[in-house]
Structure formats: structure tokens, C-alpha cells
């Protein structure tokens, strides 16, 4: 009798065989990196499972996506659903679930979700989460004026008044980008000096559309159907059409601490050019990694996912694919 290489007999119970699926790769995370990895993995004929708590990842927070080649504009939620549909059509298994832990097994890894899944390789694509202000109105007006990505949403505020919360290099560069579209940009920062690269700071000060409000904190986001103002801790109310929150992000790498995977000081998983971690058989892609010079965009995440899948294929088959 012939059995698939991805099926193994685990027990004989009351005269009946009990089967256990061994996946070639399990991908954790359903953003651009995860679904790109899944798409390539199934095209390499790898038995593939993707586990995600939300289809699309952070892109679902974006009202419209206009910076991906071949797509003029599409909603973030719709794009996330298309990611899933395409992967399932190609043969990947997709489940919405939360992964509690990963452990090394005798012949690979065990991924503990609502069920325990076994796999030869793992691709980590959990992404990162933008740090929230945690103030009244933030959740209510998310995608209704409140955004966490100037690159994604800046063009929708042409001729408008917008604010940027934060004083990092990322915040300063977001303000510069927004100045290309908005009528006026306010940087709202709790300190008395921007913590950006000197040249970026020079560019901010040279841009007439940008004003900086130092030693200020947003304590409330106000509006009706959409946001229209923010309240500062000084008591002043600043009228704005949009607010871009740039107070940092945290990689979702807690899951891998028990595996001894190397992370940098910010919590990003350290990967090489092949998206391999320091643990054999575990790869990572997207915002969770140190890859792509930490340029966290939809297109770079998708590219890293494809590379990770190619590397997983090489690990499983001891072969390589070159284009």
C-alpha cells in the first residue's frame, strides 16, 4: 500500500489507522508576506498551511491601496480577501486561528493552535503592530481620518489639514511626504526637539507647509462621522482633516522567544538574504524581520515572502530554484 510522503500513521486504534498530516511548510501570518509565501510554496508543490488571525494583516487598516503595481486602487480588506482566495485556488490550506506556541519536534516542528500541526519548516510572517495612542476617538475614527501610514493614505488628503503625531525619523519623513499633498501639516510631538536624522530635520524646517507643535500630546480625537479635530493636553483644540500616528511599532515576535531565534534590540527577527533565521528550518518574512532595510511596505513584504518560500523549498527538497 502506498502512502503520501506527507501522511504518517500515528496510531492504530481499534483496528483503524489514525493519520497525521506532515506539512512541508506552515506559514504563520496572513499579510502580504504570508500569502506571498503561501502562493510560491504551493507552486513548488509543497504541502502548505497558512494560519492567520486576519486575512490581509495591517493592510486591512488602509482604506485604499494605490501603491502596488498593476492595481490602481483597492480597499485593504478587499485586497486581503483576494490574497486568501488566490492562495486557496492554488491549493494552500488557510485557517483563521491563533498560534499559541511553536516547538521543535523529532522531524520538524509542532505548531500549537486550536489543533497541533506538524511541519518540516516554518515561515514566520506575523508582522508588526503600529503603536497606538490609546486616546478617546482613536479606534472610532480609524480609517475615518486616523491613519498609521502616510505612504498608503497621504494622497487622500490633498488640499487638507493634517497632523502627524511623533518626532522620530519616520514621523518627520511622513510629514514631508504629506506636505506634497496636504495644504498644511502639523507635527505634534511631546518633546522639545525632533529625534530624526539631521538632514531630515533640515528638510522639515525648510518646508513652509509644515509647522511643529513641541511639548504637546494628543489626548482626544474628535469628530462626527469622520474626525475633524484633536484636543491637546494644553487644552487647545486643533482642527484637522486627518491624523497620522507615527509613535513607533512593535514586531510581533513574542511567539518565537522559546525557540532561541535571534532578534535585534527592537524585537525584529534577524534574517539573512535567504530570509533564514539562526534556527534551521525556520524562515521569516515581512515587517517582523530585519530584511529589506526595514522598508516596511506591501511590495517588500511580498518579495520577502516569495524568497522565504523558495528557501523553505530548498530546505525540504535539498534543491534550489533559480530564475
* 164 & 78 share domain: no
- Which pLDDT score is estimated for 254? 86
Task: Identify the CATH number of the domain in which residue 44 sits.
Answer: 3.50.50.60
219 inside domain? yes
- Residue 99 sits in which domain range? 7-129+249-317
| 10-residue averages of pLDDT along the chain (323 residues) | 50 57 96 96 97 80 74 84 93 95 92 96 92 96 94 93 95 94 98 94 98 98 98 98 92 89 93 97 96 86 97 93 73
Chosen domain end from 193, 227, 245? 245
* 180 & 209 share domain: yes
* 203 & 257 share domain: no
152 inside domain? yes
* 163 & 99 share domain: no
- Which pLDDT score is estimated for 17? 54
- Which pLDDT score is estimated for 189? 98
73 inside domain? yes
* 200 & 263 share domain: no
* 284 & 267 share domain: yes
Chosen domain end from 188, 212, 245? 245
1 inside domain? no
322 inside domain? no
- Which pLDDT score is estimated for 1? 38
Helix axes 76-90, 32-43, angle to 10 degrees: 20
- Which pLDDT score is estimated for 224? 96
| Residue 168 neighbours by CB distance under 10 Å | 17
Chosen domain end from 245, 261, 289? 245
2 inside domain? no
* 35 & 60 share domain: yes
* 151 & 91 share domain: no
29 inside domain? yes
103 inside domain? yes
* 42 & 176 share domain: no
* 191 & 292 share domain: no
* 161 & 144 share domain: yes
pLDDT digits (tens, 9 = 90+) for 15-48: 555 567 899 999 999 999 999 999 999 999 999 9
* 176 & 232 share domain: yes
CA neighbours closer than 13 Å in the CB half-sphere of residue 257: 7
Looking only at the bridges linking them, the beta strands covering 242-245 and 161-165 are parallel
State the total domains in the chain. Answer: 2
Amino acid at each position: 500500500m502506498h502512502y503520501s510522503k506527507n501522511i504518517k500513521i500515528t496510531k492504530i486504534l481499534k483496528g483503524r489507522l489514525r493519520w497525521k498530516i506532515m506539512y512541508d511548510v506552515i506559514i504563520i501570518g496572513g499579510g502580504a508576506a504570508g500569502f506571498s509565501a503561501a502562493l510560491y510554496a504551493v507552486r513548488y508543490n509543497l504541502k502548505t498551511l497558512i494560519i492567520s488571525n486576519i486575512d490581509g494583516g495591517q493592510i486591512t487598516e488602509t482604506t485604499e491601496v494605490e501603491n502596488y503595481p498593476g492595481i490602481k486602487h483597492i480597499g485593504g480588506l478587499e485586497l486581503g480577501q483576494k490574497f486568501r482566495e488566490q492562495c486557496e485556488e492554488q491549493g494552500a490550506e488557510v485557517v483563521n486561528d491563533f498560534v499559541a506556541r511553536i516547538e521543535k519536534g523529532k522531524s520538524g516542528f509542532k505548531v500549537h493552535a486550536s489543533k497541533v500541526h506538524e511541519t518540516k519548516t516554518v515561515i514566520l510572517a506575523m508582522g508588526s503592530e503600529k503603536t497606538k495612542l490609546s486616546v478617546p476617538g482613536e479606534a472610532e475614527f480609524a480609517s475615518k481620518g486616523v491613519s498609521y501610514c502616510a505612504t498608503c493614505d497621504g494622497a487622500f488628503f490633498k488640499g487638507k489639514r493634517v497632523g502627524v503625531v511623533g518626532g522620530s525619523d519616520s514621523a518627520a519623513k511622513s510629514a514631508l511626504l504629506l506636505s506634497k499633498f496636504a495644504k498644511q501639516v502639523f507635527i505634534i510631538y511631546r518633546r522639545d526637539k525632533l529625534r530624526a536624522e539631521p538632514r531630515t530635520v533640515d528638510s522639515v524646517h525648510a518646508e513652509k507647509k509644515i509647522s511643529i507643535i513641541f511639548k504637546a500630546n494628543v489626548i482626544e480625537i474628535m469628530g462626527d462621522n469622520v474626525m475633524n479635530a484633536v484636543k491637546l493636553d494644553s487644552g487647545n483644540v486643533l482642527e484637522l482633516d486627518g491624523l497620522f500616528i507615527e509613535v513607533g511599532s512593535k514586531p510581533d515576535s513574542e511567539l518565537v522567544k522559546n525557540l532561541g531565534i535571534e532578534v535585534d534590540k527592537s524585537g525584529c527577527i534577524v534574517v539573512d538574504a535567504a530570509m533564514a533565521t539562526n534556527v534551521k528550518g525556520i524562515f521569516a518574512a515581512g515587517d517582523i524581520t530585519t530584511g529589506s532595510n526595514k522598508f516596511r511596505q506591501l511590495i517588500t513584504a511580498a518579495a520577502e515572502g516569495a524568497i522565504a518560500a523558495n528557501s523553505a523549498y530548498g530546505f525540504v527538497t535539498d534543491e534550489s530554484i533559480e530564475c
